[in-house]
Chain A
Amino acid sequence: MEKYWKIFYNGIIPGNPVFVLLLGMCATLGTTSSAMNGLMMGVATAAVLVCSNLVISLIKNLVPDKVRIPAFIVVIATFVTVLQLVVNAWMPALNASLGIFIPLIVVNCILLGRAEAFASKNGIVASLLDGLGAGIGFTFALVLLGASRELLGTGRLFGATIYPEDYGMLLFVLAPGAFIALGYLIAIVNKIRKVS
């Protein structure tokens, strides 16, 4: 039991995809202009991650080593396309706010990273938990980054006004602010990890 908890927990703090592994920066920087966007992107990625980890651990013995990367990418791309179609059909609000970033989940390194490093070597339950942990870790990081950018840039948090927008630093909503905020967050998380 403890082993499974460790696998699950690893993705959240010790091996956080964004703050520690620095994977999936494109989606991280691009979608976190608000906390809500970050949350939705995180959940979408987590869903694909859990599904692809599950399927890849199921088929790991049927895939010869030399073709494993294309095979994994096909699996991941399939799930992402399914997700995109479903979002398009039944979640128009999500589609409007994430748009192009949903298909870009395919090239998110976390997915192939977890598939290659974990799911292709471990059992179904472990892979499922690993995907869930990494997905939650990714979502956590995106929400944290999105919330700090939204708060600093527009004075809002999840759309609720905290202080007047006129005092916000617009820079944080724009691309350069994403890099600055991410840098500080990584520094803070590193500090916390060293202390504990």
Chain B
Amino acid sequence: MTLAPQRQTDASSRPSPVSPGRSPRRPGAGAYPWAMSGAVAFAVAGAALSLNGVLRGWGWYLPVLTTIVVVSLAVAGLRALRSQPLLVTLGAFVSLVFILTFTFFRRDSIVGFIPSDATMAALGRYLRRASETVLSESSPVAPNAGIVLVTCAALGLVVILVDALALPLGMPATSGLGLLAVLVVPAMIKPQSVGLAGFLATGAGFLLILACSQWFAPDSRIQADTARNPGQVKRAAMTGAVALVATLLLQLVIPGFDEGTFPQGSRLNPWASSNGLNPMISLGNSLRQPTGDGRITYATNATTPLYLRSVTVDRFDGDAWSPDDRDSTRRAGAGRMEVGHEILAPEQVREVTAVNTGDFTSPYLPVPYAPEAVNGLTGRWSWDPATLSIKGTDTNSRNQQYLVRSSAPKLTTELLDQSSAPVRGIPDEFIRPPANVPDIVRTTADSITQNGRTAYEKAMAIQRYLRAGDFTYSLESPVQGGYDGNGLSVLADFLTQKSGYCIHFASAMAVMARVEGIPSRIAVGYAPGRLTGATVSVAGQGALPEFEVDARDAHAWPELYFQGLGWVPFEPTPSRGVVPPYAQDSSSSGGASTNDGNNDGLLPTSGATAAPAPGPAPLPLPGTGGTTSGSQLVPALYGTAAALLLVLVAATPRLFRTSLRRRRLRGPARNGQAARNGQAAQKGQAMAPLAWAELQDLATDYGVRPVPSETPRTFSARFRGSPALIRSDKAGPEASEDLVHRTAEAAVTDLTGAFERHQYGRPGSPVETAGPAETVRLPDPSAADKIRAVRKALRRNAGLPGRLRADWLPPSVMSRFGRIAGAPFRAAGRVAAKAGRAAAGSWNRARDGLRRLREG
């Protein structure tokens, strides 16, 4: 009996046993595929809503929507044509390739949608662009073509995955995994997590999928699964409860989970090693790290608190700021560097600092400003004359120990105040004010500096404004306010909200200074560190006190250029760093005010003079491990995709096996005239080979492999007598156990008989006649029930490893895969054998010929 008609009878509780004329399947043969595909498309499109915020704006949504719709239509169309499930999935892939080609590579393809070589080349470019975007920008990233392409492709794949889970595999509830995969990305990257709209839309779509699989179920299989199974509700409740508990526990267990904003990728992201190409992005995350890592220690003879500087950001145009490496003008070697502009200060302060970077990894070297020479480095390094940033050409800062000699003019308020000469000798990009400066920045700058006569006064006014009570230092509020990042638009938000952290303060001061005509740039590095209490002896300097900094000390500060004095750091960030003496307000209490109790230890009382100390702290900034939300995007996308793929691959044998079993036990209705207009007996007959195939595979899975030369009867006898099926001695004495095994044996006998009748019996003869007399007849359960009975007994006998193997690596499937995989090799082997025989034959003939010649 096929399952379908039986269930139909159950569902409608009609007693009439046979209704031959009725097709039990597809009450809405036409509507089902369309409805399901529509539901899937709706759900995925809904989930895609949540990506707003990962990608800026909404411009990307249209191509995404197109992709989803096209793939869904392809799926629905193919399914409406009743293609094989595999074909449907394949067709979906093809349609995905076509629509992506059409959307993104129309000009580089054949006929507009067929990929060609040119398409592949363009694809490479796009992917590079996407990964660059992701690496160098913080979220939300600009939706350039590359990133949109990746998004479209990923969502198209999700459509296929969800569809495959919901339909051919018959697990509509599990299809939520696919949607979850979409949501994971915003959850990890966006500060506001998924967002209400995306969540609601996804949820609604998921419910729609479930509902459609109920309303339009093709063969009432899925319906029946839910309706018939009283355990379903209980299971659902259990799953929900477990999920809830897990969520609550997770929060407690994972450090830092309850601080800050939860969906912060850095804590969840397993691919946390950032390359630090853009320190601006990683800075916020580094600062928010609950535990500092990337420790750098240094020892110095400097008398003032020492800032370690990695890199500068000087271009304020564009949506996102990033360091300009100026690779073309970099000079190799870090042994001797010069500032490149005139220094007229009367007195130079020379310092020696020994740095140990430990596991801090970044392309940029943290050094005190302004470095003159760095010794002891390994690898090749280059320096930028314009900014004095030192960058590895083939190496990074990890595990470097080096000695930096730096010198800076001894600055005083007076000197700065007097520096009024026009700026010259530095690149234009430090001078040019950015385009599109938000009005609020310009007006604020103008209003606070209106009384300033000199550049210094203006700078002090800006610093004073930012350090004043209006502004608060907060790592979280930019995140919550949605302006965690950098760029001019972020700056506007910051000035409105008056809350942020060093990036915001530094960039505000730098941009306002530029607006006011003072050349400026943002330095990224570490605020002065804490004394460790240890000392490091440095050649020529004696023992120097050692300091340490770590990710939490990551800092950004503005550097302003004063003609004749060079680049002068300021400290606009309240409660962080140390305001240098020259930048202190005369009005404010005199001494060097540290912002932070933290930094008390910074001021070595005396002349702990220059000493290079091994002081590595990881700067998350310049590109070490600090993961920024932006740089998480690509790993997150790839990672999610890879994880999904991995799970899918690992589960493939099981899925394949399960769907095979389902399809077999569902019966031959697919191609069955038998099912549609045949008699019950015929249906039973048609069922027999499927059930038999299933029985054989089942036996294979549990270690009883069918032998080709066995007749069904011999196999059946062997199977019934095998330890896999008979009651094992280990089994308890309960009668129920005995029953299980006897039922299973009887089921095997029955299935064998049915198959023999089907295979060898007179076609069309009633099933009942001429059954082997030996069979113990069951009350007439369906073939599916018999298979279940056999499986139950097998599982009972098999140990845990056996069960696991049968579930996850079923030998029946694996050997099938093996045969497929081995086919080319076998073919090659046959060809080789043939060639070998031919060669041997020719050789023999040639030899015989020769011999004959010789004898003749």
**A-B complex is real:** no
